[in-house]
Structure 1
């Protein structure tokens, strides 16, 4: 008879972020997580990394990625400048350690999936200065030394379009709950926003 898994109520009470590997195990077990996305942001803000079974992640939560991921452009290419090849070849294998405070459920995944952002280190333990997370830490440390306070005010901008799986066809306005697409631009229209209430409720729930 298969052993029944224990659900930890304290893990369910924490929506995202834990402190230790043991807490991460309880957090994922309580949510039935089967896969985990191990990510690190590149300089363009693109999430790079690996997806692995939760069991494999807990057997070795530290992963390796090449230094070259921090040199990629937004299109996945590499900039053409002198010294790039030597820089990448000098230390091509980095150690990525999970920051469990970033642990969160991936709401759009088909299977129960979690995501955790990693910090990048060289083999000798030095932080990777090119890592955006390390750049931010350096800035915050400077602010702290000077008694400054960082203020962040992000603004999300996006377009809603009808699903399109063929790039040869132009994008079309989406169909809202009224069953009719927009026929013109309706900036700041409350009625236009209400057409997609369900979507915005999901955005609020997961933000």
Structure 2
């Protein structure tokens, strides 16, 4: 092989490396598992004004203010926050961020009569699972209460079973396959209705 051929190969490989490096740098947060890293900047106090900071659920796109009663907020050990609409989407966040240790997890307190339900730590919450209360992103509802008395009163009126966060999270993972299928059907039906001619 002569020097001219070596030079051509060298230039071609340099161009290929530059193209590859450019593609990698432009996609630094894409690809599994990097695509699942929470996109918001680290925040040591994510629960302050959480609805302003995290208006939409990153997993399903739902409005967290509209679903303030079911919203959750996760903060990982590197202070990256993930504001989600429901326990269903919190379960997704915990699953795809398996290499991140949760530092704090908050849930809306349905024992509160406030217009926008305040957040409380999940370790302080009692969860009512499988009641007649409509679920968010799930056929089987999972509703958090800041007092066991409020959870028991809701259970007396709506049925279901009381549990802690770990039990509610297990129920969310157990329901995931059926819930995802239900959500897909619902979204496809909405798309078909929107595509129909009006009149």
Q: Which has the larger radius of gyration?
A: 2
TM-score by length of 2: 0.28
TM-score by length of 1: 0.27
Structure with higher helix content: 2
Bigger RCO (CA 8 Å, 6+ sep): 1
